[in-house]
Copies of this chain bind each other. A is one copy, B any other.
Amino acid sequence: MHRTVLAAAFLSIPAAAQIGSPLAFEVAGPGVWRAEVGSPEAPRLISEDGTRRAGVLRVPLGEAEHPFAEDAATGWVDAGRVGLRFPLGAAEEIYGLGLDFGAVRQNGRIHELGVDHWGGRTGRTHAPVAMWVSSAGYAVLVDAPRRMTVYVGTGLRSQSDAPPVVQDRNTDDRWIAHPAGDSVEVAIASAGAVVYVFGGPTPLEAVRRYVLHSAGGGVLPPLWGLGFHHRTPTRWSEREVRDEVLEFERRGFPLDVIGLEPGWQSHAYPCSLEWSEERFPDPGKFVAELGELGIRVNLWTNPFLLPGCALEQSLAGQLATHRVWNGAVVDFELPDARTTYGAHLARVALDVGASGFKVDEVDGFDRWLWPDTARFPSGIDGERARQTYGLRTLQLVDGLFRARDQRTWGLARATNAGGAGLPFVLYNDHYSHQDFIRALVNASFTGLLWTPEVRGSESGEEWLARMQTVCFSPLAMLNAWSSGTKPWSFPDVEDEVRETMLLRLRFLPYLYAAFASYRFDGIPPLRAMPLVEGWYEAADAGARRKHLENQWLVGEGLLVAPLFAGERKRTVCLPRGKWYDFHTGALVGGGEVVEIESPRERIPMFVREGSLIPLAAAGLRAPVAGSRTPLEVRHYGTEPGRATLYDDDGRSFAFERGEHVWGTLTYDGEQGTSVWSGDQPFATWGEPTWVSVRPAEDD
């Protein structure tokens, strides 16, 4: 273990078997180490903005040791390339590397990380965060504004201490095509890079250190952001949007946010970023009227500007050499450009009352985005602009709302390392239910949030299964801009879909507390199983590997294991402890793989012994401060349970200035108490009713 190594002179690399010199790590924070290789290029992704820390940690972090032996992690620069090598133990499992739709366990895979629309090329994705998390309880992050390739245990070094066994394919049927390597290696075509190591001792603590170090903690959405979101067809005018909102209410479907697509603008693709006078003649009035119904308005944007429009004219000299869909591309690395663009967005959208944005297409898709040969006036090239453009756009929008002391909650097509604290949830055009769940799971390793949005389905059954998944995700959304689908479009499951959406609303006290833990303690509100206590005692590696991909934890003690269309049964891999069926209260098991069966209207969920699940009274809108929304606190099993509540004004940053309270619920099956850290000035949550959920045969 080493805390600080004096920066060694960087060696020019001999053409020898052993390459590179040891990385010279220095302490950068509690359990965080940092090293530079060569001359890192601008811009940086990680700002080390610990100043945004919301307060002292409520959940302490363990003592972290540096994971690598003194000279085991090495780096070099040669011919304009950075090389990095980190040791990898034979039993270690590696996760992370950004928003991967293809797999959760990354050993044996090669990620060509780069911001892109996800299309099956490993590593090219909407958030190609160059950070991996080890089952051994540490994480490594490489900060470089470039595409890079990460080899997870694939390269076979001739100098390996533990080389794989040599086999003869001619005679040995056990011959394997992919013998395992003993390293994670990274190649970057760049003059330098910054390397961070986050200590554990657990994988969760390594992730927390990343979130806390890079963003001062995760993001806390406004409470309404956790309600239901719906997006309307792109050419609709204000009357049609208003009618849609009323139809949701009339049918009893919850709704908090309505999203307008490009048609809110007078010209889009490329964008004028001005309201269409034809479709939205009085946007202020329109937004205010929806506000009176308790509905927020979210606006679609992409930052590719109509040549000749007022905003584009005011950005002369601050635009890239290339256009996108004929639209001028703003250089967000330039402070003046950010100011001009931000002021315009604020006037057009925030002044009118819009609650947030859908930031589309900042990921790119090679054929329509700028090429790598593009140049930006700040001096960066097309490749660097692409790796950072989503992140910069989101930071800009975040700043607009922060400046008004107003929380926002929106959608983004691209981000990168350093985006953990930003109020955006990722989405894309892909639509595999299984892949969407993998993305939801993977997101938690690298400070990301993902919504498996619903758009349409082949059948009512699939519609319901997808709706169940999205209602236990960071952002519950029907994105119908193209399809025009309604929640009630499949009459055979209309009631079940309504109940699922209402259940989402009931879960808001629980979800809001989970996000508060993310904000204050850096604990992801939804997380992959390796970030859950007792996971490695649940089953053997094969069973864990399979279930990694199709189940996740929400908050402190709720395991979600969805069914796909056509399924009534599945297996669930339960971590150590005792787990109870959320719906029936039956003991299901613990530290084992169990087969479960479920009617289609219930998403299979399991509560860990010792947890309580606080549910709000059913409603169509997210509760607001002062509503004293009644709580039903569910208890499972025989041991005393405990849950956290969190409350604040639900919409501003006053919570960062101390204006928030934490609640602790305890219930042993007979005696329940709720204790608040203050006198509950926000009063979002009302009095609890205590309910022990028991299977029918126990009655």
Contact = CB atoms under 8 A, between A and B. Distances in A.
A381 B170 contact: no
B319 A79 contact: no
A44 interface: no
A375 B373 CA distance: 28
Interface string A365-387: 01110111111111101111000
A110 interface: yes
A187 B155 contact: no
A478 B372 CA distance: 43
A168 B78 contact: no
Contacts of A18: 321
B373 A163 contact: no
A83 interface: yes
Contact of A382 (B187, B268, B375, B384): B187
B158 A268 contact: no
A682 interface: no
A169 B15 contact: no
A495 B41 CA distance: 67
A78 to B, nearest CB: 6
A179 B80 contact: no
Interface string A35-50: 0000001000000000
Interface string A167-182: 1111100010111000
A178 B110 CA distance: 30
Interface residues of A, number: 83
A186 interface: yes
A322 B381 contact: no
Given A168-B268, A373-B85, A19 B186 contact: no
Contacts of A234: 170
A325 B368 CA distance: 40
A81 B328 CA distance: 24
A373 B76 CA distance: 10
Contacts of A185: 371, 373
Nearest to A187: B372
A212 interface: no
A267 interface: yes
A486 interface: no
Contacts of A262: 169-170
A158 B367 contact: no
A120 to B, nearest CB: 8
B377 A155 contact: no
Given A157-B323, A179-B325, A383-B187, A268 B371 contact: no
A163 B326 contact: yes
Contact of A108 (B179, B306, B367): B367
A79 B169 contact: no
A262 B81 CA distance: 36
- Among A19, A84, A319, max chain B CB count under 10 A is at A19
A344 interface: no
A17 interface: yes
Interface string A305-327: 01100000000000111111110
A177 B19 CA distance: 46
Given A371-B154, A372-B149, A268 B170 contact: yes
Contact of A166 (B17, B151, B158, B326): B326
A276 B170 contact: yes
Interface in A174-220: 175, 177-179, 185-187, 189-191
Given A80-B191, A170-B234, 8 more contacts: A16-B321, A155-B373, A156-B323, A158-B319, A165-B326, A168-B269, A170-B267, A178-B367
Interface of A: 13, 15-19, 41, 78-81, 83-85, 108-110, 121, 149, 151, 154-159, 163-171, 175, 177-179, 185-187, 189-191, 234-235, 262-263, 265, 267-270, 276, 306-307, 319-326, 328, 366-368, 370-379, 381-384
The 5 A-B pairs with the shortest beta carbon distances in the complex, nearest first, are A189-B189, A187-B372, A169-B269, A80-B80, A155-B371
